[in-house]
Chain A
Amino acid sequence: MHRSILVQKFHLNSTLQILNRDIKMQDGSMAIIDVGHGNSAVLYNHGQVVVVDAGQGSALLEFLEQEKITRIHWMLISHADDDHIGGVIGVLSSKKVKIDQIWLNTDSIKGTDIYRDMLIEIDSDSSIKLRPAFTTNESREIQIGDYLIDVCYPTPAIAARGPGSTDLKERPLTSNSMSAVLRLVYKNMPIILFPGDVDQVGLTNIKESGIDTSAPIVVFPHHGGKHGKTSFEEYYSLFHELSKSETIIFSISRTKLNNPQPELIKAIQKISPTARIMCTQLSRHCSAKTPKDKNKHLIDMYSHGKQENKCCAGTVLIEFTKKGYSISPSPQIHHRFIDEKVANPICRWS
């Protein structure tokens, strides 16, 4: 082997050892973090870390600190809403975690100060590689061992149009219409879909482009809230046709907004009656009060609602094995909690 390659390999290995040296997460695992209202997920494998969206507030930082993660190799941002990028600003400002690359799609209609705040923080650290557009062209560029990240959407043509304009068939594009849709693939098996907050126009574009977005697990878009005037049944019908997911995770806050909407749950139960529904926090639709007992059913990872007993499933952990994957908390443990502690669980309506 050429000496320079050897030196590079040595540097890479020693950097990985210095950063993320004491990490607690198991190799080959992904956590869908209970960040309250917002989305964030962390993939860890062989010393490398991919974060998909960053939530808002300090939840991602708390999670990273508890798991002793000090370096993020790829931070992927689906779109520029507060509840997806607020946590990026938190991580960047904190100076506690090194970020190598940030991928996001430029969002001109956001023209917002929060977008500028984020760019100011990124610009202040010259070591961060910013990729201001990522599309289906970048699919499978990120690979860690057996894990690949598919960029299913937007297509380059949609990204080139941008939010505030219209798509190629003159349908209005909002930030949500071109929210990045990502998919984790393990040993060539699609496992988890991260559709950001993609709306009906986005889904229609995905369908018309014939893009495969199927995955057994999904972090459901928009936290189970309403997308404009589209009915829940119409939206879920198309979403299910594209994703075919069997496990549906809602990343929600008990205190902020009031998701997931019961009409959506009814649509899910009608169209895919065997689907498993998991909410990170206990929806107020399900219980007016939080349980008095400590949330013993939760996994041993940071959940934003844990301290105040606001969790339902809490942070969800997906671990990959030779045979496939497992989800924690398990259905048995999670359902026992729901059956014993939750007054009106909408996920158990039939």
Chain B
Amino acid sequence: MALGTNTIVKIIDDDPSYRIALSEIVKDANWQPIEEPGPLPSVEDLYARLKGKANFAILDHNLKIKGSYAKFHGAQAVAFLYEKKFPAILCTTYGAADLDTMRIFRRKIPILISPDNLHPEFLVIAYETCLNELKGKYLSTRKAWRTIIRVEDVNLDTNPKLLIVVIPAWDSKEKVRLPLEIIPINKRDNYSKPGARFHAQVNTGAEISSELYFADFE
């Protein structure tokens, strides 16, 4: 859909004050914001509210904090919309634990941004980036390559259970938290050992670790 004043952007955030703030940014991009008041019982229900009624969506990640706004996380919703080829971004503040949840869905989250960094110009770029990716045209930071992964540590007492890994082709010094949940069940035992090495598809062009995603474990 062409960019213009008719572009409708749905804002999904459990905090009304954030919805208002994001609406202002959308208006500054000369687009039309629609705030979603909730409640949202499922990702399918969210998609039904978007399909044919909006062009783009901005979602917070923690949608479960204030009352009964939604029964899912924003990351899960953006990934579901991605599968439906609906462009959406995740605009949220996050800590390490949030990032673990997001990592599970990161393959299908084209843009993750902090609200402090969201401005009208970026919003336009983000929309174009989403549309391009849904057509199979990836930014180099989002393109996956087969690469070797080394397990540094295993945390099975945490929630979620984690492998602490290094991706030497990306950055040999940075340790990355990889939720075990992403890995196919039949491979988890073999991978859950310090010193283990395996291959998977990873976007090794990522600038920072929060951008990394993992897929197609071998």
Contacts and interface: CB of A to CB of B under 8 A. Distances in A.
Interface of A: 56-59, 61-62, 82, 86-87, 89-90, 93-96, 112-114, 117-118, 120-121, 255, 292, 304, 307
Interface in B123-155: 139-141, 143, 145-148, 150
Given A57-B170, A58-B169, A59-B140, 4 more contacts: A62-B140, A89-B169, A113-B172, A121-B148
B216 interface: no
Interface stretch (B35-43, B84-92, B197-205): B197-205
A316 B197 CA distance: 36
Contacts of A61: 145, 204
B148 A117 contact: yes
A113 B174 CA distance: 12
B197 A56 contact: no
A341 to B, nearest CB: 17
B171 A82 contact: yes
Nearest to B166: A113
B168 interface: yes
Given A82-B173, A89-B168, A90-B169, A117 B140 contact: no
B207 interface: yes
Nearest to B205: A58
B3 to A, nearest CB: 16
A61 B207 CA distance: 15
Contacts of B148: 89, 93, 117, 120-121
Contact of A307 (B140, B197, B199): B140
Contact of A86 (B150, B170, B197, B199): B170
A199 B142 CA distance: 36
Nearest to B208: A255
Given A117-B150, A255-B207, A86 B145 contact: no
Contacts of B206: 57
Interface of B: 121, 139-141, 143, 145-148, 150, 166, 168-173, 197, 199, 203-207
B207 to A, nearest CB: 6
A112 B121 CA distance: 43
A62 B168 contact: no
A300 to B, nearest CB: 16
Contact of B169 (A87, A96, A120, A304): A87
Given A58-B143, A93-B145, A304-B140, A86 B172 contact: yes
Q: Give the residue among B140, B145, B169 with the most A Cβ atoms within 10 A.
A: B169
14 contacts: A58-B205, A59-B140, A62-B140, A82-B173, A86-B169, A86-B172, A90-B145, A90-B204, A93-B145, A96-B145, A113-B166, A120-B148, A307-B139, A307-B140
Contacts of B169: 56-58, 86-87, 89-90, 93
Contacts of B141: 307
B168 A118 contact: yes
Contact of A94 (B139, B147, B166): B147
Contacts of B166: 113-114
Nearest to B170: A57
A104 to B, nearest CB: 15
B139 A57 contact: no
B146 A95 contact: yes
A94 B166 CA distance: 16
Given A89-B148, A94-B145, A95-B146, A58 B168 contact: no
B200 to A, nearest CB: 10
A66 to B, nearest CB: 10
B139 A120 contact: no
Contacts of B146: 93-96
A36 to B, nearest CB: 8
Nearest to A253: B207
Smallest CB-CB A-B distances: 10 pairs: A90-B169, A114-B172, A58-B205, A117-B168, A89-B169, A93-B147, A58-B204, A114-B168, A82-B172, A93-B148
B139 A113 contact: no
A255 B147 CA distance: 23
Contacts of A255: 207
Contacts of A121: 148
Contacts of A112: 172
Nearest to A87: B169
Contacts of A89: 147-148, 168-169
Given A117-B150, A304-B140, A58 B145 contact: yes
A167 B206 CA distance: 39
A348 B171 CA distance: 33
Contact of B171 (A62, A86, A94): A86
Contacts of B197: 117, 120
Nearest to B197: A120
Contacts of B121: 292
A85 to B, nearest CB: 9
A93 B170 contact: no
Q: Give the residue among B121, B140, B143, B170 with the most A Cβ atoms within 10 A.
A: B140
A181 B143 CA distance: 33
Nearest to B195: A113
Contacts of B203: 58
Contact of B170 (A56, A95, A96, A292): A56
